[in-house]
Amino acid sequence: MALRLYNTLTERKEELVPIAPGEVRMYVCGITAYDLCHLGHARSLLVFEVLRRYLAFRGYRVRMVRNFTDVDDKIIRKAQETGRTWKAVADHYIQEFQADMARFELPPADMEPRATDHVPAMVALTESLLARGLAYAVDGDVYFRVRGFPGYGRLSRRNLDDLRAGARVEVDERKEDPLDFSLWKRAKPGEPAWESPWGPGRPGWHIECSAMAMELLGESFDLHGGGEDLIFPHHENEIAQSEGATGKPFARHWVHNGFVRIEQEKMSKSVGNVFTIRDLLGKFSPDALKLFLLGSHYRGPIDYAPEKVEEAGRALDRIRLLAESVEALEEHPRGGALPAAVGAARGEFVAAMDDDLNTARALSAIFTLVRHLNGALDRLPERRRATAAAAAAFREGIAAIREMGQVLGLRLSGGATRPAEEAALSAVAALLREYCPEQVAAAPDLSAGVEALLARREGARRARDFTVADAIRRRLAAAGIEVADRPQGSTWRLRTK
């Protein structure tokens, strides 16, 4: 068994066979640094991070490159609008991107090149395309001659005549064919410029990725990815430029993720239905957002709605609560029931991931194991006494869940999110003023506050004043604090969203 991944180029699932045995070299198109990232970016970022992690899990060394486009029309326009330099705009949004990645708990790629650090490679690539007759220069601009590259349209399955018929491209008199695209753009006054054989200018968008990918990964590498909207023209053009210049195959495997939609419509700025990563992570934990995104297959569309992320958060809590219960197990000679099914879950997880990164199915394997472990836990005396062997088996189960979760980029541990904590804290403060005013000063943090309220509640319970006891419990629950009454006393925990 090996990983089979859908290849856009061949329209079928194909086994990923690295060119260099044991090592996968992958390039993923990164962001253009002119605005904050939204949920669509988050999905793409997550999908390829999961791919990378799964490859590592399968024993491959992985080299993943994700670029930054730090010079282009949109950046220049943003600079003009806001009175900053193009460089300041790009630097700023790259920093914001990195901050978002940290909040979303995704690590950086192995290499994160900026386009402007690789201009000489882009110039060289353009020169070699000119030398091969696949490009032509006009007044300081250089265009790729689409008709000169026979394979053009193979990735996106388009033929040039159809494209031309449907083309809504601005007619540029200087182009031989309307579909020819820029390799090099002559600088207008005030625009960023690098020296070149054709005069000062800057590289076109598509050539950036070709040049950086080949410089960092070699002329031929294993996998190239991005959102499905990049298939045409961006990736089509990358293939034409790269293979046109080298005569060698560029990327073997092309992987594209589907869109995030809002109420059946593509999320995009023109529609005005964009949710930034930043806003979403103010409301939801990274794990909940990830679980939501991984709940459907990466190639299909996914419809965003806040309730769905909340649902994912509830599902996630089941895993967290199980892990906490297992950590709290007490070893006892007369424990019970050994949990089984760890091996089966792992097998199903691998089978699912091998089948075109089917994270939804992989998650079902995890949740099935969660149910089995919970069931075994329920059969333990007081749900907490296990023999040494049983306790070890439970811990092995949790370790397996953590390991599988980790491949999916999930943390599956740790406390509640900061927003949840802040909301809980203010609710607790209000309850303290109402039920134990003398304790307000003595209970400065959440934990002390809840403990004081639980002590007050325990007093009420002893006095069989269930009205007060239940009111306190109900209002704590409303604040996200879940109280459980056990034979040994009451416990509490903060739920996440």
Partner RNA sequence: GGCGGCGUAGCCAAGUGGCUAAGGCAGAGGUCUGCAAAACCUUUAUUCGGCGGUUCGAGUCCGCCCGCCGCCUCCA
DSSP strands (E only) in 110-245: 135-138, 141-144, 181-186, 201-203, 221-227
Contact with RNA (CB under 7 A) among 301, 384, 387, 411: 301
Residue 1 or 399: the one with the smaller Cβ distance to RNA is: 1
CB of 6 to RNA, least distance (A): 10
State the number of binding residues for RNA (CB under 7 A): 85
Virtual CA dihedral for 433, 438, 440, 444, nearest 10 degrees?
A: -160
Q: Is residue 115 a contact point for RNA (CB under 7 A)?
A: no
Contact with RNA (CB under 7 A) among 308, 385, 402, 411: 308
Q: Is residue 51 a contact point for RNA (CB under 7 A)?
A: no
Residue 22 or 464: the one with the smaller Cβ distance to RNA is: 464
Per CB under 7 A, contacts with RNA among 140-169 are 156-159, 162-163, 165-169
DSSP β-bridge partners for residue 5: 14
Per CB under 7 A, contacts with RNA among 450-479 are 461, 466, 469-470, 473, 477
Q: Is residue 485 a contact point for RNA (CB under 7 A)?
A: yes
Contact with RNA (CB under 7 A) among 19, 124, 193, 315: 315
Q: For residue 412, how far is the Cα from the chain centroid?
A: 16
Helical axes 342-354 vs 388-407, angle rounded to 10°: 10
Residue span binding RNA (CB under 7 A) among the ranges 246-254, 256-264, 335-343, 394-402: 256-264
The label of the residue with tokens 């009420």 reads 460
Per CB under 7 A, contacts with RNA among 329-388 are 351, 355-356, 358, 360-361, 363-364, 367-368, 370-371, 374-375, 377-378
Residue 19 or 111: the one with the smaller Cβ distance to RNA is: 111
Q: How far apart are CA 350 and CA 365, in angstroms?
A: 9
CB of 331 to RNA, least distance (A): 20
DSSP letters for 422-484: HHHHHHHHHHHHHH-GGGTTT--SHHHHHHHHHHHHHHHHHTT-HHHHHHHHHHHHHTTEEEE
Residue 19 or 468: the one with the smaller Cβ distance to RNA is: 468
- For 463-483, b/e burial (b = at least 16 CB within 10 A) is eeeeeebebbbebbeebbbeb
Q: Is residue 245 a contact point for RNA (CB under 7 A)?
A: no
Q: Is residue 297 a contact point for RNA (CB under 7 A)?
A: yes
Cβ neighbours of residue 150 closer than 8 Å, sequence gap 6 or more: none
Nearest to 394 by CA among 457, 323, 346, 448: 323
Q: Is residue 433 a contact point for RNA (CB under 7 A)?
A: no
Mask: binding to RNA, 72-111, rule CB under 7 A, as x and -? --x-------------------------------------
CB of 67 to RNA, least distance (A): 11
The token duo for 467 is 């009205």
Residue span binding RNA (CB under 7 A) among the ranges 194-202, 297-305, 339-347, 406-414: 297-305
Residue 134 or 326: the one with the smaller Cβ distance to RNA is: 326
- For 157-170, b/e burial (b = at least 16 CB within 10 A) is ebeeeebeeeeeee
Per CB under 7 A, contacts with RNA among 163-222 are 163, 165-169, 181, 205
Q: How far apart are CA 186 and CA 207, in angstroms?
A: 15
CB of 432 to RNA, least distance (A): 20
Q: Is residue 29 a contact point for RNA (CB under 7 A)?
A: yes
CB of 368 to RNA, least distance (A): 5
> How far are the Cα atoms of 66, 211, 281 from residue 191, in angstroms, in the given order?
25, 22, 36
SS3 177: coil
Residue 327 or 378: the one with the smaller Cβ distance to RNA is: 378
Per CB under 7 A, contacts with RNA among 6-25 are 11
Cβ neighbours of residue 98 closer than 8 Å, sequence gap 6 or more: 108
CB of 38 to RNA, least distance (A): 7
Residue 248 or 371: the one with the smaller Cβ distance to RNA is: 371
Residue span binding RNA (CB under 7 A) among the ranges 80-88, 89-97, 289-297, 400-408: 289-297
The three-state DSSP-derived secondary structure of 328-378 is: CCEECCCCCCCCCCHHHHHHHHHHHHHECCCHHHHHHHHHHHHHHHHHHHH
Cβ neighbours of residue 136 closer than 8 Å, sequence gap 6 or more: 130, 142, 143, 145, 176
